[in-house]
Structure formats: C-alpha cells, structure tokens
Structure 1
Amino acid sequence: MPLPVRHATLPDMNEFELIAHYFRGWQGTHPDLILGQGDDCLIWHPSRATVMSIDTAVAGRHFPEQATGAQAAQRAFLPALSDIAAMGAEPAFFTLALTLPRPLNERWLDAFAGRLRELSESYGLVLAGGDTTSGPGPVISLQMHGLVDTPLRRDGVQPNDDLWVSGLPGRAAAVLPAVLNPAGASVPPDWLDAYWSPQPRLELGLRLIGLASAAIDVSDGLAADSGHLARASGLDLLIDIDSLPQAPSFEGYPKDQVTSWILSGGDDYELAFTASPRQRQSLKALAAALALPLTRIGQAVAGDGQALIRHNGEVKALDQAGFQHF
C-alpha cells in the first residue's frame, strides 16, 4: 500500500510510515470490532465471551536467527493461534507488537508482513492494532482473541477420564538439530513441516466442546503439558508408553529417542485432552471426519496432580520440565 504523505526509503521510515506501508489495507473485518488500527486504543464490543492469549517469539529463542521473514511469521502466528484452539474458541482478531533492529532489512520485512497477511486472512483474523519499535533483534508479540460459549479449560479432568492426543507429536523436536544446522544431515520433509508450519487444531477444538472435559495445546512437551492438566484438576494422568502415536517417518530410529521426542520435545501444537470413556466412539468418529489421528494414550487416576508413565507394567514419575521460555 503506497505511503499517504511521503515515499520514504525503507531505512528512513519512521514507525507510522512502517505501519502504513506494511500492515494496513489488509482484508478482513469483524462485526464486534468497532474501531481498529489508527487510534490510541482499539474498541471491541464482544457478542460472546472473549478468550485472549499473548505469545512472544524471540529470534534465537523461539525461531533461529537465520530464519526468513516468512518463517518467522509462521513460527509466531501459528503457535499463538494454537492457544485459541485449545479453548475451543473461534478466532476473531489479533494485535501485533513488533521489535526490529536498525537498519531495517527490506527483504525480511517484506516476507514477514506478506506471510503474516496471508495467514491472518486464511484463518479469518483481523489485525486490529499493535505497536512497533526498534531493538537489538526481532521480537514478535501476538495477542490472539477468540469467541466461545463454553470454553475448554485445564481443570475439568474427571476420575477415570481417558487422556488423548491429536496428530503425531515429536517431529518438531526431532528436526530441531537440522533447523539449527541446515548444513547437517537431511531429514524427512514432514519433520520440517511440523516445525515451520504447525497446524493449530481449531476445528478439533470447536468440535471437542461437549465431548472433552479438559484440554491444552502441546507447546512445551506432551509430558509437561499433561502435567499442567493433572495439576489443574488435582488428579494424576497415567500415560501408557506403548500407546503413544508414532509418525511413520520415525521408523528405524531408536525407540528411546522417539519416546523422548514425543514426550519431552515440545513445539507440536497438537491438543492433549481428556474425555469420559463413554465418548470413545464419538471421538473415533470425529477423528475420521477430520482425517486427523486422535489417540487414547492414558487415563486419569487418583493422585496429587502429576503426569506418570506406565511401561512394562511399571509406573513411575515423569520429568515434566518441558521447554523453558525464561
């Protein structure tokens, strides 16, 4: 979109020119958004309960410093949207706080803004406002807003509930060494897709309303995030190692390594959720309808709120550290 006042070159752009050039004129609107970009605050008058989540992606911490602008946009936007899916909400709008180093990298910024626009329009979200500033390196903060009538929460696990997980977790963790060192050994393409283009399970979240008792997105590792469900609900979640779903591309890799990727790797953005055993057939039908694997991997049992593993009949506590953001 051409600048309204003067056509500054990229290195000379101030904050307002940068916003006007890269982040205005996007398609999309929402009936609850009364006033969006261009004022001191946006004005939102929700017709339903609003869920909000904010995520910050830092270069060198959440995506490699050598990532392209498009890759950085995906690594920031898609994981942030996964939180909306975990609540069973419909996406509505988002805000963006963007920190960039000087001098501005035109190729990186073009690719970032272009991919962010594609994603926002694809998922039906409106960019309603935000902020830009300069700093030592790229930092992307996205606040997602969604609408929901009956949100899925972490504290709803009931005794004897089944524990389920969507998709094929572990591949993003498996590919991380290759992402950090692209000159290394080749890896399966689905591993790279899992890292750079995680799929927020929005449709699954919406359709779990009325079926699931609790849910969480798997961002820090299946073990750690199952532990969050367990602690919030005051029950233990017993994970059966032999029931974990395994991607076909894991074939030939050591079983212990694969198990570690699945349980502790993080960055999967699948949904872990609990449901009554009475819902098993409904969940199998839902998996077929969505063409998405839904795997029953454990059970809620009485305890003090931790994730446990069962292997060869032996039950033991599980390391729940997961990925640490700080």
Structure 2
Amino acid sequence: MGEFDLIARYFARAGAVSGSSGSTGSTVALGIGDDCAVLTPAPGHQWLVSTDMLVEGRHFLSTVSPRRLGHKALAVNLSDLAACGGTPRACFLSLALPRVDETFLAGFSEGLFSLADAHGVVLAGGDTTAGPLNINITIMGEVPQGQALLRSGARVDDDLWVSGTLGDARLALEVFRGTVSLPGEAFEAVRQAMELPQPRVALGRALRGLATSAIDVSDGLAGDLGHILRRSGVGARLHLADLPRSAILGAMPEDLQRLCLLTGGDDYELVFTAPAQDRSRVMEAAQASATPVYRIGRIESQPGLRVVDGEGRELDLALQSFDHFKS
C-alpha cells in the first residue's frame, strides 16, 4: 500500500476532503487533498493552536493498543485547548510509520476519529512518512475575542482548583516498571487513566470569564502549577490532603501517593485559579460541564510552591516534574 492509498483508506473522510467545502462546517472550508487546508474562523473569535508529539518509548509504551493510542494522541492536544477555554475545530496529523501495518492503522484511526467526532473536530490534513513510530498532531480551536484562559492571570488570595483525580496514570507506569503490583481489575482502572485520558474541554469553556488562570496537568501537578506561578508572579500553598485521588492510589504507601499526585504527569486534568468569592460559580461551571472539581489551595504573594500537610505544616519535599531532557 502506498502513502496516498494509506491516507485515502484510513484518514480521508467524506466531508473533509478537497471539493467538499460545503459539508465540513463553517470552520474547515477545504480539507485533505490539497497543498493546504482552508479554514475560516467565526466572526469575533481568535484561533487557538497547539501541537504535541508522541514518541514510542518516551510518551507511550509499545503495549498500548492502537485504538487507545489514536485516542490519546488527540486527547493530549484537546487538553491544551481545554486549558485555554477553547472550542476545538480542526486538527492536522503527521505520522511516521516503520511499515504499513493495516491492523495498527485501522485501530489507530478508529480511536482518533471516535474522540474527534465526540468533540466536533475535523482532520483537515497532515503528512505521512516512513520512520520510527512518531505521532504529531496540531490542533486548532476558537475562543471569543479576548476570552482565552492564560497562565498569567492568577492573583493573590485566589483559590486553587483541580479537576478529576490525579496520579493514577503514574501509578500505572510504576506497575509497568515493576515497582508496584496491582490486581487485574485495579491495574486496568489505572491503565485506562494512562491510556485513555478524557480532555476537560467542556469545563474549560465553562470557566471562561471566571478562572483567572489555567493549565492542563501533563507533566505533573507541581511542575505545571509552577508555570502558572512564574507567569503570574505569585506563589501558592497547596494542601496535600485535599488533592483528589482514586481509592486505588489512596491505598498505596504515602511516599508513592506523593510521587504520583505531585510529579506523576499524564493526568490531563485542569488546574486553575479563581477568586474566592466565586466558589459557587466554579461549582456551577463544574456541574454544567459534568466535571468534578476540588479546591486544593490558595495563591499567595510569596513566590514558590509550598505543600502543607493536614495540620498546615510545610513539607520538605523535592518536587521535580517530568522533563524530556532531564527525566
């Protein structure tokens, strides 16, 4: 099978190819098949653009199913849009394959398109080549003019919030590494957290005009929160006991819980700040988006991140989130 046959069979869909501009919606006027896609943003909106690369052995294990890999490849990009409060519109896929494996391609494209359809995303173009397995997706979305959520708006005395639960993806990784043992049902639950993250797009949109800053948790809570603190010129007090965790992680030794909760990464939840007087509005946004949120700390004027225990005592922890060139 040649490159263009591969694209036509697994990635070109009716309504997203050249000559089909009337059927792709108002955003994607022209999709796969020409040298460029043609996109038209809605009046009064700004584009949001993000890109993520997934490399085998670095971002995913060879044991992951192709369908789950297709899901995750798009999910990590949707999570970036969610952190900015955006509405997803289109994506572009660049895919390097060591060989044409039709079983892999069928599963991968099924997982990708299932999540894309759930969020109204059109695959509008990309590239394929031969090489070590490498997946790069660029995603584009829209946000009303001036309403994008940024990392730079946190203010002193804001509440600090996080969605969902943290740490299960890192716990699954530790099982794969052989440092932790879990029974089959528990392992499958944390493995799903690692391989099938659910991007919080609806919550991100609901937080527009309410959250003062936001970021998605991809490299670990401590490190990603640090980006907000540095960009906003503030510090934070984080309550370890208030960090949401699954019952499976909660049954683990305390030091392992801290590792997974604070520096684990691959959670793809949203951490955000909002004025303390708007707590009821935050809960309304959570309810409207069907996403649980938890208040986990407070923004302070003193720079840096302080993690405290249930008694309010500051913990002496060495916190280092994932870094591609250090980890």
* TM-score in same-fold range (> 0.5): yes
- Alignment equivalent of 1:133, drawn from 125, 129, 150: 129
Distance across 2 between alignment mates of 1:244 and 1:132: 41
Counterpart residue identity of residue 213, structure 2: A
- Give, in angstroms, the shift of residue 290 of structure 1: 3.8
1:73-96 CA-to-partner distances (Å, cap 9, x unmatched) read: 122111111001000000000000
Match of 2:201 in 1: 202
**2:277 is aligned with 1:278:** yes
- Alignment equivalent of 1:307, drawn from 277, 295, 305: 305
SS at match of 1:315: coil
Q: Retained in 1: the 8 A contact 2:87–2:205?
A: yes
The 3 A distance-change label for structure 1 pair 123 and 179 is: farther
Match of 1:109 in 2: 105
| Identity fraction in percent | 39
Distance across 1 between alignment mates of 2:154 and 2:176: 36
- With 107-116 and 266-275 compared, the bigger mean Cα shift is at 107-116
Q: Retained in 1: the 8 A contact 2:206–2:289?
A: no
The 3 A distance-change label for structure 1 pair 318 and 52 is: farther
- With 61-70 and 221-230 compared, the bigger mean Cα shift is at 61-70
Alignment of 1:41-56 (within 5 A): 41-47=36-42, 48-56=45-53
Q: Retained in 1: the 8 A contact 2:74–2:137?
A: yes
- Give, in angstroms, the shift of residue 285 of structure 1: 3.1
Match of 1:240 in 2: 239
- Give, in angstroms, the shift of residue 184 of structure 1: 6.1
The 3 A distance-change label for structure 1 pair 94 and 318 is: farther
SS at match of 2:314: strand
- Alignment equivalent of 1:167, drawn from 164, 168, 175: 164
- Alignment equivalent of 2:35, drawn from 31, 40, 46: 40
Distance across 2 between alignment mates of 1:90 and 1:323: 28
SS at match of 2:266: coil
- Give, in angstroms, the shift of residue 317 of structure 1: 6.8
Distance across 2 between alignment mates of 1:190 and 1:303: 39
The 3 A distance-change label for structure 1 pair 319 and 272 is: farther
1:289-326 CA-to-partner distances (Å, cap 9, x unmatched) read: 4443211111111123x322123433357545311234
**2:65 is aligned with 1:77:** no
- Alignment equivalent of 1:176, drawn from 151, 163, 173: 173
Match of 2:10 in 1: 22
The 3 A distance-change label for structure 1 pair 289 and 31 is: closer
Q: Retained in 1: the 8 A contact 2:69–2:111?
A: no
Distance across 2 between alignment mates of 1:318 and 1:31: 50
Q: Retained in 2: the 8 A contact 1:53–1:143?
A: yes
Distance across 1 between alignment mates of 2:175 and 2:14: 35
The 3 A distance-change label for structure 1 pair 284 and 45 is: closer
Distance across 1 between alignment mates of 2:14 and 2:322: 34
1:200-233 CA-to-partner distances (Å, cap 9, x unmatched) read: 0011000001211000000001111110100010
Q: Retained in 2: the 8 A contact 1:94–1:129?
A: yes
**2:85 is aligned with 1:88:** yes
Q: Retained in 2: the 8 A contact 1:308–1:318?
A: no
CA-based RMSD of the aligned residues comes to 1.9
Q: Retained in 2: the 8 A contact 1:214–1:275?
A: yes
The 3 A distance-change label for structure 1 pair 185 and 164 is: closer
Task: State the TM-score, normalizing by the size of structure 1.
Answer: 0.89
- Give, in angstroms, the shift of residue 111 of structure 1: 1.0
Distance across 2 between alignment mates of 1:285 and 1:45: 32
1:108-154 CA-to-partner distances (Å, cap 9, x unmatched) read: 1121122222221222100000000000x210100011100110000
Q: Retained in 2: the 8 A contact 1:33–1:43?
A: yes
Match of 1:298 in 2: 297
Q: Retained in 1: the 8 A contact 2:206–2:288?
A: no
SS at match of 1:124: coil
1:259-289 CA-to-partner distances (Å, cap 9, x unmatched) read: 2211110000000000000111222233344
